[in-house]
DNA sequence: AAGGTTCGCAACCGCCTGGCC
DNA sequence: CGGCCAGGCGGTTGCGAACCT
């Protein structure tokens, strides 16, 4: 084993930390700070390597850590952000105050991942597993899935060729929408009391566009509020992979790349493999941002650093997004 | 009750990156 | 510019607890 420099120089203890060791480490860091981690063990009187001390402090002893199991909202946030960023646990953990990357990773591997698989979803891509796709292939060719998963209380408006849909919910949800959301599938038209807009407003509705679907079948797809199931799915065909996540942050996934950003809008372009076209994202800051300023994005269309963009540009409050998908065959309204 | 299995989580390992000399 | 080093990160392991037979 190669071993870290600070660990190879001396005989170090490994394995679980004793309460006495914890106490020494806490005392050292709370009184003197950690400074150089490699010097911490010596100063604290510990037979540990600096790296081990750092890990113990960050993952377990830090006073600002949140103890206890993950809440449903935290779980949703993890799923949302993971879908965008993949296994970048440290980045994901930044969206969960008091949680560590290790904790998020363990939770993902021990809990969420299994739920994905149980629901026939690939935990890496969040798409249906191939075996499940073939099941629905024959009865659903309008599988333009779109997740609007948001937990903040701000309204979101999706404008599609002049038709505006308001979405306002406080739970994350999965929506599998037909390619034309204003041309409701025949199987759904019996819901006379529910307008298209209402259906979009229902955060717990799982939309599917199976032509043969009966009323009862549709009912069954409606997720009970705050249920334990994971409301997730995705489709690479979706032209509007917009995800609103916790704390009013808004991110979109790697199926897009930015073209330009102005004071009032960000022009996003689905990548060629997504079918191209343009999606205009207009920002209306004054109306719904509670006075918070939007940190404008600064990027170039080439060599785009998505992670950096997330950190630098998408920190604002709950924003009002106005999406105008243009010339995209999958959103042909 | 005992042995085997599974599960969850703390900790380790190894690689990468960036700063410094 | 290259080597050294520390910090950071994601993948993996190992162990104790919980569960099952």
pLDDT at residue A179, rounded to an integer: 26
pLDDT at residue A4, rounded to an integer: 52
User: Could you tell me how many residues make up chain A?
Assistant: 333
Gap from A105 CA to C17 C1', Å = 20
Closest protein residue to B14 using CA and C1' atoms? A2
Which of A257, A267, A240 is closest to A332 using CA atoms? A240
Provide residues 112-141 of A with CB closer than 7 Å to any strand B atom: 114
The reply to whether the CB atom of residue A55 sits less than 7 A from any atom in nucleic acid chain B is yes
| A34 neighbors A54 (Cβ within 8 angstroms) | yes
DSSP A111: I
Token pair of A183, please?
């041309």
pLDDT at residue A175, rounded to an integer: 26
- What stretches in chain A show pLDDT beneath 70? 1-11, 129-333
Which of A158, A143, A123, A117 is closest to A250 using CA atoms? A158
CA A18, chain centre distance (Å): 36
Pairing of strands A156-160, A163-167: antiparallel
Gap from A51 CA to C13 C1', Å = 17
Which of A103, A2, A124, A114 is closest to A55 using CA atoms? A103
pLDDT at residue A69, rounded to an integer: 87
The reply to whether the CB atom of residue A26 sits less than 7 A from any atom in nucleic acid chain B is no
In the complex, which nucleotide's C1' lies nearest to the CA atom of residue A114? B7
Closest protein residue to B10 using CA and C1' atoms? A16
pLDDT at residue A34, rounded to an integer: 85
Gap from A130 CA to C7 C1', Å = 40
| A275 neighbors A267 (Cβ within 8 angstroms) | no
Closest protein residue to C4 using CA and C1' atoms? A5
Residue A135 to residue A129: CA distance in whole angstroms: 10
pLDDT, tens digit, 9 for 90 and up, residues A175-227: 222 222 223 233 222 222 222 222 222 222 222 111 122 222 222 222 222 22
C-alpha distance from residue A118 to each of A76, A105, A108, A172, A320 (Å): 17, 19, 14, 19, 35
Nucleotides of C under 7 A from a protein CB: 5-12, 15-16
Which of A138, A25, A116, A86 is closest to A253 using CA atoms? A86
Token pair of A192, please?
């006379």
Alpha helices in chain A (DSSP H): 5-8, 19-32, 40-44, 50-56, 72-85, 89-93, 101-107, 113-118, 130-136, 196-201, 215-221, 285-288, 306-313
The reply to whether the CB atom of residue A14 sits less than 7 A from any atom in nucleic acid chain B is yes
Averaged confidence pLDDT in chain A: 51
- In chain A, what is the straight-line distance between the N-terminal and C-terminal CA atoms, in Å? 60
pLDDT at residue A88, rounded to an integer: 86
Which of A245, A310, A248 is closest to A79 using CA atoms? A245
DSSP A255: T
| A78 neighbors A111 (Cβ within 8 angstroms) | no
The reply to whether the CB atom of residue A60 sits less than 7 A from any atom in nucleic acid chain B is yes
Beta bridge partners of A281: A266, A323
In the complex, which nucleotide's C1' lies nearest to the CA atom of residue A36? C6
| A200 neighbors A184 (Cβ within 8 angstroms) | no
Residue A54 to residue A38: CA distance in whole angstroms: 9
pLDDT at residue A6, rounded to an integer: 56
Residue A101 to residue A88: CA distance in whole angstroms: 8
Residue A56 to residue A270: CA distance in whole angstroms: 43
Gap from A113 CA to C19 C1', Å = 21
Beta bridge partners of A326: A278
The reply to whether the CB atom of residue A102 sits less than 7 A from any atom in nucleic acid chain B is yes
pTM: 0.54
pLDDT at residue A66, rounded to an integer: 86
pLDDT at residue A103, rounded to an integer: 92
Look at the alpha carbons of A307, A78, A256, A250 in this order and tell me if their dihedral is positive or negative.
negative
């Amino acid at each position: 084993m190669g071993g870290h420099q600070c660990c190879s120089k001396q005989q170090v203890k490994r394995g679980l930390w004793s309460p006495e060791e914890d106490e020494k480490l806490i005392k050292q860091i709370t009184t003197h700070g950690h400074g150089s981690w490699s010097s911490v063990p010596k100063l604290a009187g510990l037979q540990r390597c600096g790296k081990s001390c750092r890990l113990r402090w960050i993952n377990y002893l830090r006073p600002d850590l949140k103890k206890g199991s993950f809440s449903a909202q935290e779980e949703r946030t993890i799923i949302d952000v993971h879908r965008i960023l993949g296994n970048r646990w440290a980045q994901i953990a930044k969206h969960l105050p008091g949680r560590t990357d290790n904790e998020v990773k363990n939770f993902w591997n021990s809990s969420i991942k299994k739920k994905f698989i149980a629901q026939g979803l690939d935990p890496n891509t969040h798409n249906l597993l191939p075996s499940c796709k073939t099941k629905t292939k024959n009865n659903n060719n309008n599988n333009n899935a779109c997740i609007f998963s948001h937990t903040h209380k701000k309204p979101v408006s999706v404008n599609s060729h002049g038709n505006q849909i308001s979405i306002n919910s406080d739970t994350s949800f999965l929506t599998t929408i037909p390619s034309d959301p204003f041309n409701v599938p025949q199987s759904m038209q019996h819901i006379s009391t529910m307008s298209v807009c209402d259906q979009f407003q229902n955060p717990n509705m799982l939309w599917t566009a199976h032509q043969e679907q009966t009323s009862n079948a549709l009912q069954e797809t409606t997720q009970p509020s705050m249920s334990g199931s994971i409301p997730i799915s995705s489709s690479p065909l979706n032209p509007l992979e917009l995800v609103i996540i916790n704390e009013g942050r808004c991110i979109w996934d790697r199926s897009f790349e930015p073209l330009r950003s102005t004071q009032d809008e960000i022009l996003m372009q689905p990548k060629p493999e997504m079918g191209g076209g343009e999606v205009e994202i207009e920002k209306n800051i004054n109306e719904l941002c509670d006075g918070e300023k939007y940190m404008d994005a600064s990027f170039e269309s080439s060599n785009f650093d998505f992670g950096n963009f997330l950190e630098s540009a998408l920190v604002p409050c709950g924003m009002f997004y106005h999406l105008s998908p243009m010339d995209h065959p999958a959103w042909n309204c």
